[in-house]
Amino acid sequence: MNICIPKERRPFEYRVGLSPMGVEILIQNGHTVFIEHDAGQGAGFADKEYDKVGAKIAYAVDEIYGRAELLLKIARPLDDELDMLQPGTTIAGLLHLASAKQNKIDALLKDKITAIAYEQIEEADGSLPVLRPFSQIGGAMAAEVASRLMQSDHGGRGVLLGGLPGIPPAEVVIIGAGISGTYAARAFKGLGAHVTVLDKGLNALQRISQYDSNFVTMLSTPRNIARVCEYADVLVGAVLVPGARSPIIITREMVKKMKHRSVFIDISIDQGGCSETSRPTTHEHPSYVEENVVHYCVPNMPSVVARTATYGFVNAAIAYILEIANLGVDKAIENPAIEAGVNTYKGELRHLSRLKNKE
């Protein structure tokens, strides 16, 4: 199979669709891998590293999209990238089509593109193995981001997360006790903050309490969310519904009642965001102020730790990529885990809900 890896063209996307190690595994299994010139540069992988394991370096983007039977990306393709896709191609990536514009989905359906969303690959136990490393990174980074945005020179309240003797630590509230929420809770706790975690599922709250009994846990209800918003110095939205747009659980009225210059980090923004006041930002201009609250809504948070993110991704995804390459798409999607990630297939829409879910 011809497997092609393009250079990511979305602004501030530094990750790459496969590391040299991943490419080597595919080539050892008899596949031909083409990678665009400098595709790995943002993650610290030089062309010579790919050449050394047997990849073919392509200097024309048309060659990458023209040869691809399986195209391995990270970010959702831009309009011009969709135009270059050949009919019948299979594309795999962090597609987040539930929050995409309709024209992108229409283009995939029109050209009978098979689109496999890594973030929706789901094992029988409900785990999302390929999304997991990105969720871990996003959660861990939330504490770093909050620490910076709380500084006075970044427009924050001037509060040190861990406090000092005689001065209470910051109040951090995390909505969602999944992977991102758990890693965020651990990171904030490590910096000395007082952490409250909300989730709809009691089992999730029990899991996080077993990790650290000092976490305050609450069921995620509209009343409880409204209560915690009023006292939070930092609010983190870590809400995920696989294959669907993130539910809007934080209203503008709730944000209005937050402390002035408090910080809201919406990790859910790649799936549309979980607040009425959320809108996507970039690593160049990551934050804005809405209702006197500093908002951070960068969809591709892990991109700026591109090397770690790419290694973590390849570790999680290579088995599924290899299965698709070795068996072909039609046979590979008989695996229920991979089939759960299929968004479009030969002109049909699958496993994709674009409705706004309610709490």
Please list the active-site residues: 96, 270
Which token pair is 149? Answer: 């945005």
**Helix 132-149 and helix 306-327, axial crossing angle in degrees, nearest 10:** 160
